[in-house]
Amino acid sequence: MRIAIYARYSSDHQSDASIEDQVRTCQAWIDANGHTLSEVYTDHAMSGASLLRPGYQKMFEDARSGTFHILIAEALDRLSRDQEDIAALYKQLTFAGIQLITLSEGEISELHVGLKGTMNALFLKDLAIKTRRGLEGRVRQGKSGGGKAYGYDVIRKLDEAGEPVRGDQSINEAEVQIIGRIFHDYIVGKSPRAIAIALNQEGIPGPSGKGWTASTIIGNRKRGTGILNNQLYVGKRIWNRLTYRRDPVTRKRVSQLNPPDAWVITDVPDLRIIDDTLWLEAQRLQEARTRATRPDKGPDWRDRRPKHLFSGLIKCAACGGGMTLISRTYYGCAANRNKGTCDNRLTLRLDRLEDAVLLGLQEHLLTPELTETYVQEYVREVNRLQAEVTAIHEQGAHRCHTLDRQISNIVDAIATGEPATALLDRLTSLETEKATLKVQTAQSPPEPVRLHPNLAQHYAAKVRDLRACLNKDDTRAEAATIIRTLVDEIKLHPVGGELCIELVGDLATLFSYANAKKKPGSCEEPGCTEWLVAGIGFEPMTFRL
């Protein structure tokens, strides 16, 4: 039988040797039982509280496709420490006919899932409490509670017992010069975006080792993020400003701002690198230049409707970043505008982008194959509704005959001298039901629906009316939602001084009928042509504007 191994360790403080040890012990079990190793899935320095692990996701995908018969791991907590996730994995593996075995627990059953899952969940909770307690004690001693702030280096040393001493930091003089420059440039009037672009053009790495952005400079004042808001630069360490929780739907960590009385603030004068005059002036200017762009209260941004038809779907093919509106009517590369790290300076007008994409959708929705599919589905749905109406009418007529027979039996029973009280109540109920059914079945059975002979032309007219649906108040929201479901991503390629539009997403079902590199020639605007190019698994549309 084909067996797969899954191995994982949790943090950077552990070694890759942990993975090797887990695989070796699992391999020994496979050899002892005479099975064949099919695949090894590993995740290095990744928490078991999250499913967003590449090795785990690949294992899960292969399990659904039947790549192996048995999954083996060192222990159940190597797969996940979340009780819900363990139960879901066990259910999926059982459905796929895959046996789950661990070296610690043996063959996993529902009992292991319940007990071990609960124990792992309690372990995570207890670990979080102990870790938090230890971090708070370290911060109150003036040491770092974790993370690396720009402008400082982590001091790595050992105590007398040979154990690592954690939380000590030293000032990085080279980065201090950059921080002082950022404060000075901001105070003299430069915008955070201009500062970020200048730093990127000079090749100065940002805090993450990548490029600078405006948010890296300005951050969020309430949350204390950004170079201009880091109070460590004036000798104050603030801990517990934010609380992180894992969203059960997205599986991602979400931060929430704690009330100020929950913050732990300690003075660390030896780490001060900005004087009070410079700091206070930067804070005053932030207050003066701040404008309310996203209120703290109100609907979550994920629940807001996109402002424009394809908002959030447009990407720059040169750098992979997003394309945003750089004015009221033109899309441009956000990385070029905000960071200066992309050379794509081409822009595209909003209305031309929308018209080109809609034109392409119309062109491919009107292929003979898709038109025939629409007609078939329309006829099938009409027949289904017709059958439901007919069945309801026939059931009503049959019920009426049954009621007539029951009423006749009750009348005969009364005539023969049976006790009449209960029979009369039953008779009244049956006659009431019969009267209701007679009203419902009084009309003649529905006649067969006659489909219009120009049904295909009707479909074509609806497709050509996409833009009109987007302009009507009563159909705009629904039409926009349906159109956005057809497109996962719109890539803008700079080619020869022009932007070439490539659609990516669930268009495979639409474009699989088209031939590669076929030129419909449907774009009527000057300088605009259209063709199909080979894509990954489908043939996306491309427009040159």
pLDDT band at residue 10 under the 50/70/90 scheme: confident
Give me 217's structure tokens.
């400079």
pLDDT band at residue 529 under the 50/70/90 scheme: very low
Q: Does residue 37 register a pLDDT over 80?
A: yes
pLDDT at 444: 57
- Closest to 332 (Cα-Cα) out of 467, 214, 492: 492
Under DSSP, is residue 419 helix (H, G, I), strand (E, B) or coil? coil
Residue range(s) defining the domain that contains residue 394 = 373-455
Q: Compute the distance between CA of residue 508 and CA of residue 540 in angstroms, rounded to an integer.
A: 8
Check whether residue 340 and residue 278 sit in a common domain. Answer: no
Least confident of 128-132, 157-161, 362-366, 392-396: 362-366
Check whether residue 438 and residue 538 sit in a common domain. Answer: no
pLDDT band at residue 532 under the 50/70/90 scheme: very low
Q: Domain for residue 504, yes or no?
A: yes
Check whether residue 49 and residue 114 sit in a common domain. Answer: yes
pLDDT digits (tens, 9 = 90+) for 324-335: 888 888 889 988
The proportion of the chain whose per-residue pLDDT surpasses 70, expressed as a percent, equals: 78
Q: Domain for residue 248, yes or no?
A: yes
Domain boundary at 63, 90, 125, which?
125
Burial annotation 226-241 (CB, 10 A radius, 16+ → b, else e): bbbbbebbbbebbbeb
CATH of the domain at 257: 3.90.1750.20
pLDDT at 478: 67
Report the pLDDT averaged over residues 137-141. Answer: 83
Check whether residue 265 and residue 410 sit in a common domain. Answer: no
3-state secondary structure 249-306: CCCCEEEEECCHHHCEEEECHHHCCCCHHHHHHHHHHHHHHCCCCCCCCCCCHHHCCC
- Closest to 52 (Cα-Cα) out of 85, 19, 87: 85
How high is the mean pLDDT of the chain?
Answer: 78
Domain boundary at 455, 472, 505, which?
455
How open is the CA angle 310-314-315, to the nearest 5 degrees? Answer: 170
pLDDT band at residue 295 under the 50/70/90 scheme: very low
Least confident of 120-129, 184-193, 247-256, 369-378: 369-378
Give the phi and the psi of residue 456 in degrees, each rounded to 5.
Answer: -65, -40
Check whether residue 346 and residue 492 sit in a common domain. Answer: yes
Q: Does residue 227 register a pLDDT over 90?
A: yes
Check whether residue 182 and residue 272 sit in a common domain. Answer: yes
pLDDT at 431: 80
Report the pLDDT averaged over residues 190-212. Answer: 89
Q: Domain for residue 178, yes or no?
A: yes
CATH of the domain at 92: 3.40.50.1390
Check whether residue 484 and residue 451 sit in a common domain. Answer: no
Q: Compute the distance between CA of residue 183 and CA of residue 282 in angstroms, rounded to an integer.
A: 7
Check whether residue 351 and residue 486 sit in a common domain. Answer: yes
Q: Compute the distance between CA of residue 372 and CA of residue 486 in angstroms, rounded to an integer.
A: 19
Q: Domain for residue 151, yes or no?
A: no
Check whether residue 353 and residue 487 sit in a common domain. Answer: yes
pLDDT at 514: 33
Q: Compute the distance between CA of residue 4 and CA of residue 304 in angstroms, rounded to an integer.
A: 43
Higher pLDDT, 155 or 544: 155
Query: Are 41 and 59 within 8 A, CB to CB?
Result: yes
Q: Does residue 446 register a pLDDT over 60?
A: no
Higher pLDDT, 178 or 408: 178
pTM more than 0.85: no
Check whether residue 11 and residue 120 sit in a common domain. Answer: yes
Check whether residue 176 and residue 285 sit in a common domain. Answer: yes
Q: Domain for residue 239, yes or no?
A: yes
Least confident of 222-231, 330-339, 436-445: 436-445
Provide the number of structural domains found in the chain.
4
Q: Does residue 499 register a pLDDT over 70?
A: yes
Check whether residue 114 and residue 6 sit in a common domain. Answer: yes
Q: Domain for residue 377, yes or no?
A: yes
Q: Domain for residue 244, yes or no?
A: yes
Q: Compute the distance between CA of residue 75 and CA of residue 72 in angstroms, rounded to an integer.
A: 9
Q: Domain for residue 146, yes or no?
A: no
pLDDT at 430: 77
